[in-house]
């Protein structure tokens, strides 16, 4: 049986989280059209008759960092590069030019002494393309794949190559994950639920709300065998952002809560009562990031 760890590395918003979610078949990482969505490495496991792939989705690497949160994201990603993995995927977005930020990521990738696959994502989008700038790297990377993580296109040949590159392990040496109805995660339930809520904030507030917002889950209690009570707080850095998140007549926060509750219910297969509030905390990045 094949078994191993696959590290994903790339700059922000190239589609690493969408890729992992598509392969695993359920929500592992939150996704949004904005960079800096993933804030810490998250693991998800894919299994089939050949064995298992343990994907580590790392936060994107920023060329310039201006705040505590962005610095921590870069630090966490660089730390992950020093951990044990078998194969790395260097993911790029052909709709964006190769710039200094990309050069920084490429410089780190060149230091990896394990097999590295170059994966050009978002090939379903053709309106703007700088794909020639990335195909030029084919001389440097022996394995190049062009995929659409969002549309689930050309994923199978990539999976085949990953299994080919992974080491053989005896069945008794492989971790026992049981039957994976949901992906095995390296984060606890509170963080996972907080991430689902934070995703809805990103998706439903457009460009109004900055990335200086987070979600803290204070309580998860089973009220009965069919109902789970969840109490969570959205933390933001300014009173004006709190007003935007709450909205007129509390409509915005109710809308965010309703969509988040539906997804939590799908993930947990239980009815959920979600109590969601918004607070101002100018220093949450130091406390919760």
| One pLDDT digit (tens) per residue for the chain, 289 residues | 888 888 888 888 888 888 887 887 755 444 444 444 444 455 677 888 888 888 877 664 444 444 444 444 444 444 545 556 789 999 999 999 988 888 888 888 888 888 999 999 999 988 889 999 999 888 899 899 999 998 999 999 999 999 999 888 765 554 444 333 334 433 346 777 787 788 788 777 766 564 667 888 888 888 887 888 889 998 888 888 888 888 889 998 898 889 888 877 776 677 889 999 988 888 766 654 4
Nearest Cα residue to 85 out of 123, 126, 117, 119:
117
195 and 147 in a common domain = no
CA separation for the pair 76, 192 (Å, rounded):
18
Give the tokens for residue 75. Answer: 């630090």
Residue 180 placed within a domain: no
Please answer whether residues 222 and 77 qualify as being in contact, where contact means their C-beta atoms are separated by less than 8 angstroms: no
**CA dist., res. 257 & res. 208, Å (int):** 18
Domain containing 223 — which CATH number? 3.30.300.20
pTM: 0.57
d(CA 95, CA 74): 23
Q: Which two tokens stand for residue 84?
A: 């044990």
With respect to residue 101, please indicate whether it lies within any of the assigned structural domains. Answer: yes
Residues 212 and 163 in one domain: no
Distance CA 75, CA 277 (A): 30
Question: Closest Cα to residue 265, out of 277, 252, 274?
Answer: 274
Please check whether residues 91 and 218 belong to one and the same domain: no
Same domain (yes/no): 139, 20: yes
pLDDT, position 27 = 52
- Write down the residue that tokens 């709190």 correspond to: 242
pLDDT attached to residue 212: 64
Range of the domain at 195: 189-288
In contact, 39 and 7? CB cutoff 8 Å: no
Task: Show which of 124, 149, 173 is a domain's final residue.
Answer: 173
CB 101 within 8 A of CB 11: yes
Q: Say yes or no: 108 and 197 in one domain.
A: no
- Would strands 213-224 and 227-236 be described as parallel, antiparallel, or unpaired? antiparallel
87-93 and 2-9 strand pairing: parallel
Structure token pair of residue 166:
């992974």
What's the pLDDT score for residue 67?
46
Based on the domain organization, do 143 and 194 belong to the same domain? no
- The number of CA neighbours under 13 Å toward the Cβ of 234 is 32
**Residue 237 resides in a domain:** yes
> Do 123 and 151 have their domain in common?
yes
CATH of the domain at 84: 3.40.50.300
Same domain, 212 and 161: no
Hey, CA dihedral for 193, 277, 287, 242, is it positive or negative?
Answer: positive
Q: Are residues 26 and 96 in the same domain?
A: yes
User: Would you say residue 216 lies in a domain?
Assistant: yes
198 and 143 share one domain: no
Residue 215 is assigned to a structural domain of this protein: yes
Q: Is residue 209 part of a domain?
A: yes
Give the pair of three-digit tokens for residue 145.
């794949």
* 230, 133: one domain: no
pLDDT at res. 172:
53
Whether residues 200 and 274 share a domain: the answer is yes
Overall domain count for the chain:
2
| Domain stops at, among 145, 173, 201 | 173
Q: Measuring CA to CA, how many Å separate 84 from each of 5, 7, 56, 156, 288?
A: 8, 9, 11, 25, 26
| Separation between Cα atoms, residue 156 and residue 4, nearest integer Å | 17
Residue where a domain stops, chosen among 111, 141, 173: 173
Does the residue 179 lie in any domain? no
Among 26, 17, 30, which residue's Cα sits nearest to residue 58?
17
Does residue 178 sit within a domain?
no
């Amino acid at each position: 049986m094949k078994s191993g760890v696959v590290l994903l590395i790339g700059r922000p918003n190239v589609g690493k989280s969408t890729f992992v979610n598509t392969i695993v078949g359920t929500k592992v990482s939150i996704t949004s059209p904005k960079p800096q969505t993933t804030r810490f490495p998250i693991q998800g496991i894919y299994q089939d008759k050949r064995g298992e792939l343990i994907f580590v989705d790392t936060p994107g690497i920023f060329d310039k960092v201006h705040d505590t949160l962005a610095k921590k994201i870069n630090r966490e990603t660089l730390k992950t590069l020093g951990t044990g993995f078998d194969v790395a995927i260097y993911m790029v977005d052909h709709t964006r030019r190769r710039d200094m930020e990309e050069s920084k990521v490429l410089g780190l990738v060149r230091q990896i002494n394990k097999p590295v696959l170059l994966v050009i994502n978002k090939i379903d989008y053709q309106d703007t393309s700088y794909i020639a700038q990335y195909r030029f790297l084919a001389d440097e990377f022996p394995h190049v794949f062009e995929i659409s993580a969002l549309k689930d296109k050309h994923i199978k040949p990539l999976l085949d190559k990953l299994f080919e590159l992974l080491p053989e392990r005896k069945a008794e040496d492989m971790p026992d994950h049981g039957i994976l109805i949901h992906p095995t995660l390296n984060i606890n339930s509170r963080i996972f639920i907080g991430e689902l809520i934070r995703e809805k904030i990103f998706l439903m507030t457009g460009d109004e709300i900055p990335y200086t917002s987070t979600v803290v889950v204070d309580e998860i209690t089973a009220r009965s065998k069919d109902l789970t009570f969840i109490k969570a707080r959205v933390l933001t850095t300014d009173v004006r952002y709190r007003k935007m998140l709450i909205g007129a007549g509390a409509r915005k926060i109710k809308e965010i809560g309703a969509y988040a509750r539906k997804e939590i219910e799908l993930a947990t297969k239980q009815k959920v009562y979600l109590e969601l509030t918004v607070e101002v905390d100018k220093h949450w990045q130091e406390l919760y990031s």
